[in-house]
Amino acid sequence: AQTVTQSQPEMSVQEAETVTLSCTYDTSESDYYLFWYKQPPSRQMILVIRQEAYKQQNATENRFSVNFQKAAKSFSLKISDSQLGDAAMYFCACYQTGANNLFFGTGTRLTVIP
């Protein structure tokens, strides 16, 4: 069975500061992808960053980076220089290639304080 766990229902960060969102996952497959999605009030899901499990190097996208610890099955998201527009729900997700399914964590609501 696949599970994705986000232990932080809510987080807040001061504008321009750095915040880290936690995610752990469990999968029986060796081939999988990990994602962080952002869902603003419009509810449109927006891809923030993606990590292939076979890659050791942590993915980065501008101010967003991940800390991928495969052995620990941990996949945290770091947002640097936080901006007001970063405020949203953030979901961690795991796509299992063999099972061809994508499961989400429970989400973390990020508030950015001006």
Partner 1 sequence: GAVVSQHPSWVICKSGTSVKIECRSLDFQATTMFWYRQFPKQSLMLMATSNEGSKATYEQGVEKDKFLINHASLTLSTLTVTSAHPEDSSFYICSASGGGEQFFGPGTRLTVL
Q: Given candidates 50, 63, 65, 76, which one binds partner 1 under the rule CB under 8 A? A: 50
By CB under 8 A, residue 5 contacts partner 1: no
Q: Given candidates 36, 91, 94, 110, which one binds partner 1 under the rule CB under 8 A? A: 91
Q: Given candidates 34, 36, 105, 112, which one binds partner 1 under the rule CB under 8 A? A: 105
By CB under 8 A, residue 100 contacts partner 1: yes
**Smaller CB distance to partner 1: residue 25 or 35?**
35
**Smaller CB distance to partner 1: residue 35 or 68?**
35
Q: For residue 65, give the nearest of 53, 55, 51 by alpha carbon.
A: 51
Q: How far apart are CA 112 and CA 11, in angstroms?
A: 9
By CB under 8 A, residue 85 contacts partner 1: no
Cα→Cα distances 67→23, 41, 100, Å: 10, 27, 24
Using a 10 angstrom Cβ sphere, with 0-12 exposed, 13-18 middle and 19 or more buried, the burial of residue 81 is exposed
